Amino acid sequence: MTGGRKITYREAVREALREALTRDERVFLMGEDVGRYGGAYACSMGLLAEFGEERVRDTPLSESGFVGAGIGAALGGMRPIVEIMTVNFSLLALDQIVNNAATLRHMSGGQLSVPLVIRMATGAGRQLAAQHSHSLECWYAHVPGLKVVAPATVADARGMLWTALCDPDPVVIFEHAALYNDESEVAAGGDLAVDIASAAVRRQGTDATLVTYGGSLKKSLAAAEVLAKDGISCEVVDLRSLRPLDDRTIMASVAKTHRAIVVDEGWRTGSLAAEIGTRTMEQAFFDLDAPVGRVCSAEVPIPYPKHLETAATPQVDGIVAAVRGALRR
């Protein structure tokens, strides 16, 4: 690989889509407004003109219909990328995703596979109120037969798609909508594919472990910076993969720091944070010097006013307070 270049998260997704369409003629993109409009978040801008209507397909406003069509195409040997505009709209396709895509390999005794990639925007922070501010990653991470990933960096947004397309089973990619304008350096040239089954330690530390993913990674890193000024060293683990969870990386970090705080934009009840906390108690109980902490969204539909939306979702101050509580400092 040669030197790096700066691109946005949005451009990284677009580059990944272009690369996939170029490398494999079986790949096509389908979803609402992905063609002429260029995607709800401009991730597919220009791809219709470049690849044509057979490869970049605008669909009717029927999530169940076009996700089902994607499953059928995958069963027929294609490599579809289905874009669902926002995570709340994916609920209209739950039957297709959970009862068909996730189960067909098992219900056919291994005779069928569904190499389908489903992309969707998730998360709060854009004042879209209770309609479009959901963080439902945990719902999908609950389902056997799916792989679930959440790219939190520009490099992962660029590299995860191709790896997902090479998987013989369905992969759901959650792109936090507040990240699309983020800009960072990525490698230029070479194979940019990244692992979609392991966590990454984004910051080394010795006093506490912050376990997080997606749109909460930046906040966790910012909290670690604040705490470092007071001599508190936080390790930050970016899960990247939500199913399967990389228990080994989490537990290795906890064994080093002896404290764990999970930062999860999902609601606290029945959350991914609860699952990670339980696994940590099961596997690393004697390494812990304090109970596992959780920083989650408030148990309310996400409000529209900016100050209330901020108050309802994990923020740097809350993460800092949780770490101080675990350290009793």
Q: How many residues does the chain have?
A: 329
State the catalytic residue, choosing from 83, 132, 275, 309.
132
What dihedral do alpha carbons 114, 116, 120, 123 form, nearest 10°? 50
DSSP strand pairing (2-8 vs 183-188): antiparallel
Note if 32 is an active site residue. no
Which helix (H) or strand (E) segment holds residue 242: the answer is strand 241-243
CB contact at 8 A, 93 and 67:
yes
Cα separation values, 311 from 193, 316, 317, Å:
37, 11, 11
| Secondary structure of residue 77 in the 3-state scheme | coil
Q: Specify burial of residue 30 (Cβ count, 10 A radius: 0-12, 13-18, 19+).
A: buried
Side-chain half-sphere CA neighbours of 26 within 13 A = 14
Structure tokens at 253: 């970090």
Can you say whether the dihedral through the CA atoms of 20, 132, 156, 179 is positive or negative? positive
The sign of the dihedral angle between the CA atoms of 278, 279, 281, 282 is positive
Q: Which is catalytic among the residues 11, 15, 19, 63?
A: 63
Is 299 marked active-site? no
Residues marked active site are found at: 63, 132
